[in-house]
């Protein structure tokens, strides 16, 4: 269905376009948030500029949607001239540029800017273009190169994992060729961060609304590194919390970039500071007691590299060809995340056609049987804290499960006891900013690899065996199980050297009482 962008009121059109373009990541930013991001990027650029100087600035939104960032830029530049209203037309027709892959969105942005500035929409035709900012040449689309500011909330689409968006092979290859962030972890928002850094002219600034994870997850390091090659992350990202606009449940942040003033890209790279993640509790303890507990725990070393891994079967775009609900010839049992409970591994509920030849255009990842059958402990991935069980009756498992191949010098049962303990759950919650999010919290290999693991924990082994037996009875295991879990927690507190007050604090915090 086409949308008539001249007739309907703007707000109605925005709603209709967003509903129709969900697959393009169309979730328009609330105007106050767009204004905040734009002020962060344009503020330092506009300081001390005359109206003439302001009119020479070029501001681009490469995923313009209905034009909310450009409207915010129009308002900001207009106010900065000191003569509000006088230069609005000139600002719109000289300073503002936008691109959207959705022609209806681009038309809407043109109309919104025209209404706000008094320009004719046709006068903005060249500047607000239809095109693919990631795959087309931005300069030829909007007739300008090198921007003083890039401001945007790009589409947040991930092309891997269980929520993966669809992407043809050709586009995947071309995106990987153009964006090094895409090779490591294919997402549109990672590629837009890299693009923004490339499009800035010396001294330019960018502000992007991005998932908070981009600031700290190891998977986004390639995107951060690509941006750092040209820019500094300055000022530090501003966390926005969860649900900061409709259609978005994960925590977001405004991420700022500043390109060095001289053409000193190498100097920028040398001076490039690490993208500052919003400080986990260790650097900014919510209380002195929390800081003291984390310091005590950090006296213990993490597991050696490779102890935890992520080899789970990734069905890619071929789940229907690979998975069955019933056993059969040539099929092997496969577990998924929900099979992993604390101290108890449920039986596989699905079966995998592990040696299926996939037709052209299909992809998946299935490793050799030894990586599955050799895992000694399984950890659930979609969870707000580690949940682990010994890998009894070994089978294949999907990528909703992480594998542990053991820690030298530590009994597997004791390790399961540590991983499921309230104290290690507390450590994870304090140190992983995303663990508290309501939507899809995930435990990652990097998180597990950074947990401090007490090696002298063999005293836990008999108690863990008892807990496993109680947990295997099903239900919630009754009073006996909860008493045994309480004893386990007390032993773990002692192992890490917590006193009674600290242990009480951890218990209260993890049960939501602190």
Residue closest to 337 by CA, chosen among 387, 390, 392, 395: 387
CB of 235 to ligand SAM, least distance (A): 20
CB of 191 to ligand SAM, least distance (A): 8
CB of 109 to ligand SAM, least distance (A): 8
CB of 309 to ligand SAM, least distance (A): 33
51's enclosing H/E stretch is helix 51-55
3-state secondary structure of 182: helix
Residue 67, sorted as left (phi over 0), alpha (psi -120 to 50) or beta, turns out to be left
CB of 237 to ligand SAM, least distance (A): 17
Residue 161 and residue 129 in contact, taking contact as beta carbons nearer than 8 Å: no
Residue 306, sorted as left (phi over 0), alpha (psi -120 to 50) or beta, turns out to be left
Q: Which is nearer to ligand SAM, 248 or 506 (CB)?
A: 248
**What's the rounded Cα separation, in Å, for the pair 215 and 333?**
37
Residue 207 sits in the site that holds ligand SAM (CB under 6 A): no
- Of 41, 134, 223, 485, the one binding ligand SAM (CB under 6 A) is 134
- Of 8, 132, 291, 371, the one binding ligand SAM (CB under 6 A) is 132
Binding mask 364-403 for ligand SAM (x = CB under 6 A): ----------------------------------------
**What's the rounded Cα separation, in Å, for the pair 173 and 100?**
21
Q: Which is nearer to ligand SAM, 21 or 331 (CB)?
A: 21
**What's the rounded Cα separation, in Å, for the pair 39 and 160?**
34
Residue 460 and residue 491 in contact, taking contact as beta carbons nearer than 8 Å: yes
Q: Which is nearer to ligand SAM, 27 or 172 (CB)?
A: 27
Please report, in angstroms and rounded to a whole number, the separation of the first and last CA atoms in the chain. Answer: 53
Could you tell me how far CA 87 lies from the centroid of its own chain? 39
CB of 164 to ligand SAM, least distance (A): 15
Stretch of 59-67, 232-240, 270-278, 407-415 lying at the interface with ligand SAM (CB under 6 A): 59-67
Residues 13-52 that bind ligand SAM (CB under 6 A): 21, 24-29, 34
Residues 146-205 that bind ligand SAM (CB under 6 A): 152-155
403's enclosing H/E stretch is strand 401-404
255 burial level (CB within 10 Å; 0-12, 13-18, 19+): buried
Q: Which is nearer to ligand SAM, 99 or 293 (CB)?
A: 99
Q: Which is nearer to ligand SAM, 62 or 204 (CB)?
A: 62
Q: Which is nearer to ligand SAM, 65 or 312 (CB)?
A: 65
CB of 251 to ligand SAM, least distance (A): 16
Residues 60-99 that bind ligand SAM (CB under 6 A): 61-66, 68-69, 99
Q: Which is nearer to ligand SAM, 92 or 410 (CB)?
A: 92
Q: Which is nearer to ligand SAM, 39 or 51 (CB)?
A: 39
**What's the rounded Cα separation, in Å, for the pair 165 and 160?**
8
Tell me the DSSP string of 456-504. Answer: --GGGHHHHHHHHHHHHT-TT-HHHHHHHHHHHHHHHHHHTT--HHHHH
Residue 100 sits in the site that holds ligand SAM (CB under 6 A): yes
How many residues make contact with ligand SAM (CB under 6 A)? 28
Residue 262 and residue 204 in contact, taking contact as beta carbons nearer than 8 Å: no
CB of 101 to ligand SAM, least distance (A): 4
- Of 41, 72, 93, 102, the one binding ligand SAM (CB under 6 A) is 102
- For β-strands 350-352 and 388-390, DSSP reports them as unpaired
Q: How many helices (H) and strands (E) does the chain have?
A: 21, 17
CB of 260 to ligand SAM, least distance (A): 26
Q: Which is nearer to ligand SAM, 99 or 313 (CB)?
A: 99
**What's the rounded Cα separation, in Å, for the pair 272 and 265?**
10
CB of 383 to ligand SAM, least distance (A): 28
**What's the rounded Cα separation, in Å, for the pair 97 and 124?**
9
The residues of the shown chain that bind ligand SAM, judged by CB under 6 A, are 21, 24-29, 34, 61-66, 68-69, 99-102, 105, 132-134, 152-155
């Amino acid at each position: 269905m086409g949308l008539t962008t001249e007739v309907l009121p703007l707000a109605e059109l925005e709603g209709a376009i967003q509903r129709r373009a969900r697959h393009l990541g169309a979730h328009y930013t609330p105007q106050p948030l767009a204004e905040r991001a734009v002020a962060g990027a344009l503020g330092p650029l506009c300081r001390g500029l005359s109206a003439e100087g302001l009119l020479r600035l070029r501001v681009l939104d490469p995923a313009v949607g209905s034009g909310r960032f450009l409207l915010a830029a129009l308002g900001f530049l207009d106010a900065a001239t000191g003569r509000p209203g006088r230069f609005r037309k000139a600002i719109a027709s000289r300073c503002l540029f936008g691109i959207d892959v959705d022609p209806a969105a681009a038309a809407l942005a043109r109309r919104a800017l025209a209404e706000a500035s008094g320009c004719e929409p046709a006068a903005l035709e060249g500047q607000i273009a239809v095109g693919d900012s990631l795959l087309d040449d931005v300069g030829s689309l909007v007739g300008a190169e090198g921007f003083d500011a890039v401001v945007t909330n790009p589409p947040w689409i991930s092309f891997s994992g269980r929520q993966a968006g669809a992407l043809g092979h050709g586009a995947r290859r071309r995106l990987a060729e153009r964006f090094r962030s895409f090779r490591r972890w294919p997402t549109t928002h990672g590629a837009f961060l890299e693009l923004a850094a490339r499009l800035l002219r010396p001294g330019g600034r960018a502000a992007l609304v991005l998932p908070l994870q981009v600031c700290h997850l190891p998977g986004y390091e390639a995107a951060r590194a690509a941006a750092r090659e040209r820019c500094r992350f300055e000022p530090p990202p501003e966390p926005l919390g969860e649900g900061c606009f409709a259609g978005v449940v994960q925590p977001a942040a405004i991420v700022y970039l500043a390109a060095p003033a001289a053409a000193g890209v190498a100097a920028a790279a040398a001076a490039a500071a690490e993208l500052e993640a919003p400080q986990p509790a260790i650097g900014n303890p919510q209380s002195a007691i929390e800081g003291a507990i984390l310091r005590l725990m950090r006296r213990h070393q993490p597991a050696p590299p490779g102890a935890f891994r992520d080899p789970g079967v990734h069905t890619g775009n071929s789940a229907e060809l690979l998975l069955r609900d019933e056993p059969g010839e040539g099929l092997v049992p496969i577990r998924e995340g929900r099979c992993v409970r604390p101290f108890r591994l449920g039986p596989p509920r699905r079966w995998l056609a592990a040696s299926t030849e996939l037709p052209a255009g299909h992809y998946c990842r299935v490793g050799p049987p030894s990586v599955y059958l050799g895992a000694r402990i399984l950890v659930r991935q979609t969870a707000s804290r580690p949940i682990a069980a010994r890998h009894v009756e070994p089978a294949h498992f999907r990528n909703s499960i992480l594998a542990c191949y053991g820690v030298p010098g530590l009994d597997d049962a004791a390790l399961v006891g540590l991983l499921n303990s309230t104290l290690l759950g507390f450590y994870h919650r304090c140190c992983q900013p995303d663990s508290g999010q309501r939507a899809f919290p995930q435990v990652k290999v990097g998180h597990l690899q950074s947990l401090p693991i007490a090696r002298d924990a063999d005293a836990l082994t008999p108690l863990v065996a008892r807990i496993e037996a109680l947990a295997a009875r099903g239900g919630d295991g009754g009073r006996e199980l909860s008493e045994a879990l309480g004893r386990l927690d007390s032993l773990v507190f002692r192992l890490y050297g917590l006193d009674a007050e600290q242990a009480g604090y951890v218990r209260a915090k993890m049960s939501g009482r602190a």
